[in-house]
Amino acid sequence: MSIKTSILSSIGQKLLLATSGLIMFLLFLIPHMGGNVLFLFGPELFNSYAHHLHKLVPIVIGIEVLMLVSISVHMIMGIRVVLANKKAAAKRLSQKSSAKRSLAARLMPVSGVMIFIFIVKHLLDFTLGGDKAEIDMHGETGYDVYGMVLAKFQDPVHMAFYVLFMVAVGLHLSHALQSALQTYGIFVPREGSKIKKVSAVIATLMAATFAIIPIVAFTR
């Protein structure tokens, strides 16, 4: 079997989908959450984090390129898997499903599209279109990233948009974690599975952590 045939096979597509998702989870989502949480501790700590992150430009650019590739692969494979699943489901309409799909599983395509829209808006808000004032960072020129974030989330519509889209992140992540483990052969779906519960807990905590930041910014 050729490499192309292996990649385009059902298993190959699911492996690429799971791996690209795992890369984004480990190299972007978790570190991003850890950095964003510093917003809750005030401007000095958050601006210091942003300032030191800016010094790591080569590393950051490398990670951003990897994220761009991962997002592209994830979207393409996600679309192919969804279409393949619909085609397979149409062939077995007469058969009763042996397992009920969760709400998160049924909404994976919707939450995936919502997350893509969120990423684009997030980049426009804070990376490409962010208005950051210059400030002194212990003798070095830095930027008031804290003030920029605070100003953005003073708008109730803007704040509500981010909170709503964090719900989509939670739903997507809840199913994605267990689905990836299933693809790697670590997890077999069954009722009352601890992995399902742990996936749901991790997804809920991460989504809530991201969502609390715009809420706190709005109330300050």
Backbone φ and ψ for 131, nearest 5 degrees, come out as -100, 100
Comparing C-alpha atoms, which of 58, 213, 72 is closest to residue 146?
Answer: 213
What are residue 185's phi and psi, to 5 degrees?
80, 15
State residue 41's pLDDT score. 95
- On whether the CB atoms of residues 147 and 50 are closer than 8 A, the answer is no
Residue pointed to by tokens 């989502």: 29
Contacts of 149 (CB under 8 A, 6+ apart): 39, 46, 126, 213, 217
Residue in this structure with the two tokens 């489901």, named with its chain if needed: 89
pLDDT along the chain (220 residues), means of 10: 66 91 93 93 93 86 91 93 78 52 87 92 81 82 91 93 94 92 81 83 95 94
Token pair of 73 as six digits:
């692969």
> What is the CB neighbour count within 10 angstroms for residue 7?
13
Residue 71, pLDDT score? 94
pTM reported for the whole predicted model: 0.84
Q: pLDDT at position 164, please?
A: 94
Return all residues near 142 (Cβ < 8 A) that are at least 6 apart: 47, 50, 51, 54, 134, 135, 136
